[in-house]
A and B are shown apart, each in its own frame.
Chain A
């Protein structure tokens, strides 16, 4: 699922090796693989064409440096170009006007309402004084959805009252905001198709009323080829200032990011990474490039791990590893940390080279296994978890019964646990470097 370009490139690297420079013929097959990888990642057909041509132009005639293999150089070139096209650096929100108005627009179900709350929370944490405006009167309970989210994050929300027109809501909210001194207005709008003339006219009116500093298109990372039409449609009608790509916590490769960026030229400013109100991150073009190409993303992995791993627990773990007193209780703890980071497969896919490793050694990453292991450990007494040496045959039978597994499963876990401890001795430094070796696969 995530094998993507990493594996393809291993083959290409072999192909290009031996030539002194990148030529039409040796780069051709590599470009074909890039094209396929991008299409599989849902990058729009036309966009793929343009992108591949741009890469080709840059690649041809390039001297191959002696220090690196031509293959590596080509991989870097593709990734660099993709990063460049995606926007080089993270783009910031523009604050303009009093108050600064941010409008969130997009198709139905893309994540506008959730993102409105996430943005409000983020801005509040940066010392701003945001005001939330629910202007979606179409979807049942959409206003209530946002009112509840606003309460949850303790940000004020405009009281829609009996109003039945988004225009009324926006002009009144703007008046109230000026009066009460809110510095930022976050306006959630109803989901709509870019080909719906009536609803697009409504957006134009809202823009007229609000003179927003930002009009952000909220788009789903799982979107396919149609991303270009949506982005273009909204951009032509009301002029976007940026894009928020949601549901990046999925396993979608997210080619829509490139499609939208290349057709509108508008920067991707944020990404949504969870359903919860804290799941908003700044967009990193370099990471997105790696993801689209399926090349693994060490940075995100490290960051995710840092966020999810409880600081204190991590230090405690390191101490234990050093002291060689890592118990099954610690193991269970670690599994829970890993689970919090998202699916195991998606974590592993962020480790470069893992996809080929998986095949090479025929390792199957089985999430069910984690659940099983947890169940087994849960069925142990604390004494057993802290000192697994006491696990004799009858205790193992009891544990197997209690966890709905078999004695073989319990034995297997004990063997893995033993291996892990041995491995840990080699990784006395602990921390992330040893993560992969701690995984029960």
Chain B
């Protein structure tokens, strides 16, 4: 992906933080400078606690000009994010490689599946989609349209069906067709709903009975405009089924997605991709350096 494109997409984020930094130049007391930086981080949804901690770290330095401050902030954020930079790798010989896509309602799970499918197909892989959202009205048809767009088969049951059974059929079908990758859609669910989290565990069990070690990737989709709640989402989905990767969506808007910083710090779960639009190509691999530079 051209770096310039990501950078321009995230330019607004950049400007917000720069605004904070510019304010610093005008200030001459150390306290004011710190407060401006803290404000910029809070406005990016980093969270007040994490923002205070980060800014506290910036005190360890001598130079207080714009460039030095910016550099120290950037270095520190990069340090946090590089720990979670780990692109999704599909190991040779693992077939089918099963990816279960999870998240709360409306974050972009189904769209991300469409984008991922296209990405894999472009790279010469065979892909099968499992319509595991049997709850929401027309969720199955939504995924089918993505299947048509990308040109890969969709295994489905009818609305109201058992998502575990869909997962079973999807995986079985992939085995018999010798498909490389299975992408399982799931219904959006709030992390606090115990019964729905139990349902996820069941889907996972069903899949692992058919393919040892599957699902190989439990991909949590987080809406980039979410506030502090995203940390709870990540924690509880992780407790329930073990999250192995994160996608942050809707970063084409004015939201900053700063909540990934506390998530990365606390949970150290790899961030695989970012979503920057509704189109099939609007998915980028997450790169800590690029993200940090676009952010700060």
Mark A residues whose CB is within 8 Å of B. 1, 36, 39-42, 44-45, 107-111, 138-142, 144-149, 152, 193-195, 220, 222-226, 229-230, 233, 247, 249-253, 255-256, 275, 339, 342-346, 367, 370-371
Residue on B nearest A111 in the bound complex, by CB? B106
Chain A: minimal CB distance from B47 (Å) = 8
CA of A256 to CA of B159 in the docked complex: distance in angstroms? 33
> B142 contacts which chain A residues (CB < 8 A)?
139-142, 145
> B229 contacts which chain A residues (CB < 8 A)?
42, 222, 250-253
Instruction: Given A222-B104, A250-B190, A255-B227, verify A339-B255 contact (CB < 8 Å).
Output: no
Residue on A nearest B192 in the bound complex, by CB? A343
- Confirm or deny: B253 has a beta carbon within 8 angstroms of a beta carbon on chain A: yes
Chain B: minimal CB distance from A360 (Å) = 23
Mark B residues whose CB is within 8 Å of A. 39, 42-45, 47-49, 104-108, 135-139, 141-142, 144-146, 159, 188, 190-195, 198, 223, 225-230, 232, 250, 252-256, 259, 278
> A223 contacts which chain B residues (CB < 8 A)?
225-227
A-B contact pairs, 29 of them (CB 8 A): A39-B42, A40-B47, A40-B228, A107-B250, A109-B107, A109-B223, A109-B250, A139-B278, A140-B141, A140-B145, A141-B138, A141-B141, A141-B144, A145-B136, A148-B138, A224-B225, A224-B226, A225-B256, A226-B225, A229-B254, A247-B105, A251-B232, A252-B228, A253-B228, A253-B229, A275-B135, A275-B188, A339-B194, A370-B194
Most buried by A among B43, B105, B230: B105
Contact (Cβ within 8 A) B48 A144: no
Contact (Cβ within 8 A) A42 B138: no
Chain A: minimal CB distance from B284 (Å) = 17
> B194 contacts which chain A residues (CB < 8 A)?
339, 343-344, 367, 370-371
> A194 contacts which chain B residues (CB < 8 A)?
253-254
The one of A144, A224, A253, A342 that contacts B141, using a Cβ cutoff of 8 Å: A144
> A342 contacts which chain B residues (CB < 8 A)?
192-193
Contact (Cβ within 8 A) A107 B253: yes
Residue on A nearest B42 in the bound complex, by CB? A45
Contact (Cβ within 8 A) B190 A148: no
> B145 contacts which chain A residues (CB < 8 A)?
140-141
CA of A220 to CA of B226 in the docked complex: distance in angstroms? 9
> A193 contacts which chain B residues (CB < 8 A)?
252-254
Chain A: minimal CB distance from B228 (Å) = 6
Residue on A nearest B47 in the bound complex, by CB? A40
> B146 contacts which chain A residues (CB < 8 A)?
140
Residue on B nearest A343 in the bound complex, by CB? B192
The one of A107, A140, A148, A226 that contacts B45, using a Cβ cutoff of 8 Å: A226
CA of A220 to CA of B85 in the docked complex: distance in angstroms? 29
Instruction: Given A149-B137, A342-B193, verify A222-B230 contact (CB < 8 Å).
Output: yes
Instruction: Given A141-B142, A193-B252, A195-B253, verify A252-B227 contact (CB < 8 Å).
Output: yes
Contact (Cβ within 8 A) A225 B42: yes
CA of A125 to CA of B195 in the docked complex: distance in angstroms? 30
> A195 contacts which chain B residues (CB < 8 A)?
253-254
CA of A354 to CA of B51 in the docked complex: distance in angstroms? 29
